[in-house]
């Protein structure tokens, strides 16, 4: 661990907390948005713990997860589209609470919270299984194909996990309109996966054979 990596990780974390707080509570017009606080706790407490763990146990993995500079032009477009989707979904959730448009019942909020936490556990398992995970699409030096654990079920378990996380967020916020916006993540992630597989097939030895062994990208027996 280096001081610069520590500073970068902490600054990104604090910026994320502040940004999400502004996006949720400013449109809501109040700090008494209970669902907003629930999401922030569920999101940032495990994130902080995972960051501390990686900082001391796997700083190289943490460095990769902090890198968001995409080389692929298609992936830069995906990042922009994802960012706009999140902005719209969170802002709309705040307005949905303020004006009480379409508020979901508590049982859906609690169910979504459980799904979110289970997805975070799966996220940790994916990080444990694949030391090459990066936020950007690239083939790293000495990278090898990972085909065990969750990678033996689908080729992109990280994206499956993020899909669960992202779709549960608007439900935790109690906002049905935001959930419809988050459904846009499906075509966005499909585009990202299609481009990523082209990069991996061209640059990662053994990936074509891995695709033959593990047939499904995201959903077992579906796609």
Cβ-contact 98, 31 below 8 angstroms = no
Does residue 221 fall inside a structural domain? Answer: no
Residue 149 has what pLDDT?
82
73 token code pair: 């032009």
Does residue 72 fall inside a structural domain? Answer: yes
121-134: pLDDT as tens digits = 888 888 777 766 65
Does residue 163 fall inside a structural domain? Answer: yes
- How far is residue 51's CA from residue 175's CA, in Å, rounded to a whole number? 29
With 80 as the cut, is the pLDDT of residue 3 above it?
no
Does residue 223 fall inside a structural domain? Answer: no
Does residue 49 fall inside a structural domain? Answer: yes
CATH of the domain at 124: 1.20.120.1630
- What percentage of the chain carries pLDDT values higher than 90? 42
With 60 as the cut, is the pLDDT of residue 55 above it?
yes
Does residue 64 fall inside a structural domain? Answer: yes
Does residue 178 fall inside a structural domain? Answer: yes
Determine the structural domain holding residue 80 and report its residue range: 3-213
Does residue 78 fall inside a structural domain? Answer: yes
Residue 204 has what pLDDT?
78
CB under 8 Å to 103, separation ≥6 — which residues?
Answer: 96, 97, 174, 175, 176
**Mean pLDDT of the chain, nearest integer:** 85
Number of domains in the chain: 1
């Amino acid at each position: 661990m280096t001081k610069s990596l520590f500073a970068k990780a902490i600054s990104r974390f604090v910026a994320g907390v502040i940004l999400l707080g502004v996006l949720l509570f400013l449109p809501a017009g109040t700090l008494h948005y209970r669902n907003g606080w629930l999401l922030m706790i569920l999101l940032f407490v495990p994130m902080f713990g995972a960051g501390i763990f990686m900082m001391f146990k796997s700083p190289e993995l943490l460095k990769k997860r902090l890198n968001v500079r995409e080389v692929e032009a298609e992936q830069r477009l995906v990042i922009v589209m994802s960012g706009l989707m999140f902005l719209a979904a969170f802002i709309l959730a705040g307005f949905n609470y303020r004006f009480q448009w379409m508020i979901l019942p508590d049982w859906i909020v609690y169910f979504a919270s459980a799904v979110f936490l289970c997805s975070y556990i799966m996220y940790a398992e994916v990080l444990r299984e694949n030391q090459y995970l990066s936020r950007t699409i690239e083939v790293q030096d000495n990278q090898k194909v990972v085909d065990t654990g969750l990678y033996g079920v689908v080729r992109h378990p990280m994206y499956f996990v993020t899909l669960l996380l992202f779709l549960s967020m608007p439900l935790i916020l109690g906002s049905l309109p935001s959930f419809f916006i988050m459904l846009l993540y499906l075509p966005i992630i499909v585009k990202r996966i299609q481009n990523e597989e082209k990069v991996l097939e061209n640059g990662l030895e053994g990936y074509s054979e891995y695709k033959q062994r593990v047939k499904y990208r995201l959903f077992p027996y579906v796609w």
